[in-house]
Every structure is written in structure tokens, then in C-alpha cells.
A and B are shown apart, each in its own frame.
Chain A
Amino acid sequence: AQKITQTQPGMFVQEKEAVTLDCTYDTSDPSYGLFWYKQPSSGEMIFLIYQGSYDQQNATEGRYSLNFQKARKSANLVISASQLGDSAMYFCAMREHTRGSTLGRLYFGRGTQLTVWP
């Protein structure tokens, strides 16, 4: 079974609008972390935001926020006020903190290609 599922291969949003990129995860580890990375066409991987499983509040970093719903096992990325430069591939990832044999692994989803149009 996939650890991380991103069900939206592609998303389109108009400039200045908000967009939500979906991510669901699968783990039985009580302690884990969720990450979002951005990959522009240049290919580099850019860290955006992190949410720990025990964090009480949803993480925010500038225009990025993570809508963390633990019971649903979802960690959706919300980008507010989209900009043309937000056009990129976005990856959700998870790391389990206490599972011995897989400790340290970061599992990635298949990504969502976001296109921002003027």
C-alpha cells in the first residue's frame, strides 16, 4: 500500500486565487512528520513546510499552510494568493519517527503539477 497518496495529477488556478493540493497518508506510527516540497521546472527540490503529528496547530509558512486533519490522515497544502512562480510540481512526503526498520525513510507521493494562469 502506498504510504502517501496525491490524487490530483494536475491542478490549475488563476493568479491571486487560493488553491488546495491534496495529500493523504498511511501509517500506524503514532509519531511522524509530514513535509511538502516544490519542484519547479529547473528540477531542484525546495522545502516548503513541515507538520509534526503531535503539533497542535496547523503549520504555516508565508503563503503556505498545511491543513492537517489527523483523524482523516490528510495533510493538504493550501497556497494563498497564487503567483505565476508557483507553477511547479508539488510533492507531499512523510517520515515515521519510531518504526525501527524504516526509521529515517522519507516517503514521497507521486506529485501534483500546479499551473497558475494569469
Chain B
Amino acid sequence: NAGVTQTPKFRVLKTGQSMTLLCAQDMNHEYMYWYRQDPGMGLRLIHYSVGEGTTAKGEVPDGYNVSRLKKQNFLLGLESAAPSQTSVYFCASSRDATNEKLFFGSGTQLSVL
């Protein structure tokens, strides 16, 4: 019962470095999401996808790119990391866009120095 798996769990970057966070789900879900969580701010949507090959911007998309080449994977990229991107990143998926709950990954703690 893997559900939603995020890798890596922790990462430290220097300003300007790039990295990719990988999210994989094994539930054949159509919708996938990337959120960031900062103290006192709740979860804010970065990008999301409504199906393979499609992506859309969320509330805070600047500085991030995403790709969904395969239905089960949703990648979040940081091309040039900034200290403001220090955060906990959560991936989530859901079967559809109505009453289906989101299944969350365990999160990635990213620090940008």
C-alpha cells in the first residue's frame, strides 16, 4: 500500500542550485498537486495537474515548474533555488475533482541556504 510517495524526504540546497522533487502515486489518480507549507500560512497550492500531460498554475507558482509525462508521476522543479523557497513540500493526489479526498505524501523538507 504505497499510496503517494515523495522523494527525497530532506534536501539542503545552496542559492542558485536546481533540483527536482518526485511524486509517485499508485492509485491511478487523475489529479495531482504540489503544495508548500510555511509556518502560519497553511498549505498553498503551487501547481497541479488534471491528467497526464496537463498542468496548471496554483496560488504560488513563481520559481517552480512541473511536468506530468506519466499519469503516476508529478515532478516539481526548482531551476534556481532561493531562500524564500525553504519550506515543506507536499504532493497529493485524488481520483477526481469533486468529493474525493486528497491523499498526501509524507512531505519533503527543503532548505535553501
Contacts and interface: CB of A to CB of B under 8 A. Distances in A.
A71 to B, nearest CB: 21
Q: Would you list the 4 A-B pairs with minimal beta carbon distance, nearest first?
A: A104-B97, A45-B104, A110-B42, A108-B43
Interface of A: 4, 6, 9, 33, 35, 43-45, 47, 50, 52, 91, 93, 95, 97, 103-111
Interface string B3-42: 0000000000000000000000000000101010000111
B45 A107 contact: yes
A108 B42 contact: yes
A106 B42 contact: no
B99 A109 contact: no
B88 interface: yes
B90 interface: yes
Interface residues of B, number: 26
Contacts of A95: 97-98
Interface string B80-96: 00000000101010100
Contacts of B50: 103-104
Contacts, number: 55
B45 A105 contact: yes
Given A44-B104, A45-B90, A104-B50, A97 B43 contact: no
B48 A105 contact: yes
A109 B90 CA distance: 15
A94 to B, nearest CB: 12
9 contacts: A9-B40, A50-B99, A91-B42, A91-B43, A95-B98, A106-B33, A106-B45, A106-B94, A111-B42
A71 B107 CA distance: 36
A109 B101 CA distance: 16
Contacts of B94: 106
Given A44-B106, A91-B43, A108-B42, 4 more contacts: A47-B102, A50-B99, A104-B97, A110-B41
B61 interface: no
